[in-house]
């Protein structure tokens, strides 16, 4: 039995996700016994990118965000990539899905550019986060406390900077998803 047996984890992603920031955490979550569903804006497949320069793997979408219910999941993962969060943050259903995790106190993890979705969902004010340095000012302007660390955990909110941080990020998401609801997590 893994640390995440009997846990359902949602991965919110769209075309242009950074390949390693989706595939590495998903692999780790599954190794720990989690059931992982890829949630996206449209059905079919979404395609990843490597370093925002070349298209790579295609991943099957398990559910469209309009059909997904945050009540069915114990955690949420948002990978980075430049295109991925830009698509997600414009979609009201995706933002409502994200907010529902915060309102329920469930753990949420975002890496690299992924926290841009959290900015648009208006859930970063007063929270400690990290991200790729290119969106630091966006997070600060949205009221977050930003720090340059490989992984930052704030009451169930786990963030990291880049694919280089995946080992630490993966360890922390397993830990936080295993812990479950955090009283300090808020919308």
Alpha-carbon distance 15 to 26, whole Å?
A: 16
Helix, strand, or coil here: 31? helix
Place of tokens 């295609």: 58
Q: Is 37 a catalytic residue?
A: no
List the catalytic residue out of 37, 112, 182, 186. Answer: 112
Residue 28 · residue 170 · CB < 8 Å: yes
Comparing CA positions, the residue from 156, 166, 157 lying closest to residue 139 is: 157
Q: CA quadruple 122, 123, 124, 129: dihedral positive or negative?
A: negative
Q: Is 186 a catalytic residue?
A: no
List the catalytic residue out of 37, 51, 113, 186. Answer: 113
For residue 158, give both structure tokens: 């786990």
Helix (H) and strand (E) counts for the chain? 6, 12
Catalytic residues: 112-113
């Amino acid at each position: 039995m893994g640390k995440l047996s009997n846990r359902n984890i949602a991965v919110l992603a769209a075309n242009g996700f950074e390949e390693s920031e989706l595939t590495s955490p998903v692999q780790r979550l599954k190794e720990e016994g989690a059931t992982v569903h890829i949630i996206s804006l449209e059905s079919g497949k979404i395609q990843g990118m490597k370093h925002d320069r070349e298209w790579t793997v295609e991943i099957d979408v398990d559910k469209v965000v309009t059909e997904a219910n945050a009540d069915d999941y114990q955690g949420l993962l948002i990978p980075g990539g430049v295109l991925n969060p830009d698509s997600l943050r414009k979609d009201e259903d995706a933002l409502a899905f994200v907010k529902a995790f915060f309102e329920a106190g469930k753990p949420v993890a975002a890496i690299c550019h992924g926290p841009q979705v959290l900015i648009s969902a208006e859930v970063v004010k007063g929270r400690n986060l990290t991200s790729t340095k290119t969106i630091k000012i966006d997070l600060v302007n949205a009221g977050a406390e930003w720090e340059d660390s490989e992984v930052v955990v704030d009451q169930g909110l786990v963030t990291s900077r880049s694919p280089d941080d995946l080992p630490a990020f993966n360890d922390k998401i397993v830990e936080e998803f295993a812990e479950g609801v955090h009283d300090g997590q808020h919308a």
